[in-house]
Amino acid sequence: MQEFLASLVSVAFHGVAYGMILYVISVGLSVTMGLMGFANLAHGVFAMAGGYILTTSLDQWGLPFPLALAVAFVLVAAGSVVLERLLYARLYAAGELAQVLFTIGLIFMATAIARLIYGTLQQPVHLPEGMKGQFDLLGRDFPAYRVFIILFGASLVAGLWFGVERTRFGAMVRAAVDNRAMAQSVGIDTQKLFMATFALGSGLAGLGGALGAEIIAIQPSYPFEHLVYFLIVVAVGGLGTLRGPFVAALVIGIADTACKYWVPQFGAFLIYVATILLLLWRPAGLFGRAA
């Protein structure tokens, strides 16, 4: 019994850490999909890029860890703006098929480039000394870095929600998600808004990829391999909301960790089945508005 409780705590802990990462990566996808209706399957590319930038900044440029995280966010956000202006923006009015194929093309390219530069092996993450140890609580060890992820993730989420609820930028985003034509007619520059939102969402994905590099291994197959999970978070959470994907990410993070811990022979099978059942019950997701 004692043993079981202990493993329960441990699963919950690792699950929450994993869920945080999933959320930070996926939230941008939910918002861009809700705001622009763009099916950006290449979202995982930004997360992968964040991971590679982190390991490169740590190992080759010798940057301290916090700075490396910041660099991952900034570089990915900046890069995504270039992509948005040059490529994505041309396809806002295009059909779903065009967007899907275009973003699959980006994944193919990103995967190949990653393999050319870094090879196929997963990148080791060299954590700073302070985060390597264990953290003792109630007689159990918790890796300090995961504790950091949870705390950092939680404050990020709080900041994000506060920003979207309280700032002018947030109000504009919410207005445009609700009704784009209306937002345009009251003078919101939707083009700039899209660009800014896209940059923020991609930057967060980069940050999430960097932050989670130790949990979700950084390797060239990353954008393909984890795409289903990012999409599940968004579909289950519902489009265009911040809270929905958060709940979904935590649930999936915990459920996935639990499955791998107790029934590893089923792999991700149970998650997929649960997702399908849930969407049968609520096709628009947990918090999504019915179309």
Partner 1 sequence: MRHNGSYSASPRIGLLEWTPWIIGIAAFFLLPEYLSLGARILIFILYALSLDLVVGYAGIVTLGHSAFFGLGAYAAGILSARFGVADPALQLLAAMAACALMGLATGAVILRTRGLTLLMLTLAIASILLEVANKATSVTGGADGLSGIVVAPILGLFRFDLFGKTAYWLCLAVLFVGWWITRRLIYSPFGASLVGIRENHVRMVAIGSPVSRRLLTAYTMSAVLAGVAGALLTQTNQFVGLNVLSFESSGELLVMLILGGVGRIYGAFVGPVVYMIAQDMLAKQFPEYWSLGIGLLLVIIVLFARDGILGIIDRLVALVRKEAR
Residues that bind partner 1 (CB under 8 A): 33, 37, 39, 41, 87, 90-91, 94, 96-98, 100-102, 104-113, 115-116, 224, 227-228, 231-232, 234-235, 239, 265-269, 272-273, 275-276, 279-280, 283-285, 291
Q: Are 128 and 65 in contact (CB under 8 A)?
A: yes
Shortest distance in whole angstroms from residue 267 CB to partner 1: 5
* Residue count of the chain: 291
Measured from the CB atom, the residue of 18 and 229 that comes closer to partner 1 is 229
SS3 label, residue 9? helix
Structure tokens at 137: 């609580």
Shortest distance in whole angstroms from residue 226 CB to partner 1: 11
Measured from the CB atom, the residue of 161 and 224 that comes closer to partner 1 is 224
Measured from the CB atom, the residue of 116 and 138 that comes closer to partner 1 is 116
Shortest distance in whole angstroms from residue 48 CB to partner 1: 14
Q: Is 265 exposed, middle or buried (0-12, 13-18, 19+ CB in 10 A)?
A: exposed
Shortest distance in whole angstroms from residue 5 CB to partner 1: 29
Shortest distance in whole angstroms from residue 199 CB to partner 1: 20
77, 150, 169, 262 from 172: Cα distances, Å: 20, 29, 5, 45
- Nearest to residue 46, comparing CAs of 208, 194, 215? 208
- Nearest to residue 204, comparing CAs of 245, 167, 174? 245
Measured from the CB atom, the residue of 110 and 183 that comes closer to partner 1 is 110
Q: Which residues pair with 136 in a beta bridge?
A: 141
Measured from the CB atom, the residue of 106 and 172 that comes closer to partner 1 is 106
Q: Which helix (H) or strand (E) holds 136?
A: strand 134-137
Measured from the CB atom, the residue of 26 and 57 that comes closer to partner 1 is 26
Shortest distance in whole angstroms from residue 285 CB to partner 1: 7
Structure tokens at 219: 């390797």
190, 196, 258, 261 from 89: Cα distances, Å: 12, 12, 40, 43
Q: Which amino acid is at 59?
A: D
Q: Are 245 and 233 in contact (CB under 8 A)?
A: yes
Q: Are 8 and 191 in contact (CB under 8 A)?
A: no
Shortest distance in whole angstroms from residue 139 CB to partner 1: 36
Measured from the CB atom, the residue of 109 and 158 that comes closer to partner 1 is 109
Measured from the CB atom, the residue of 127 and 217 that comes closer to partner 1 is 217
Shortest distance in whole angstroms from residue 204 CB to partner 1: 18
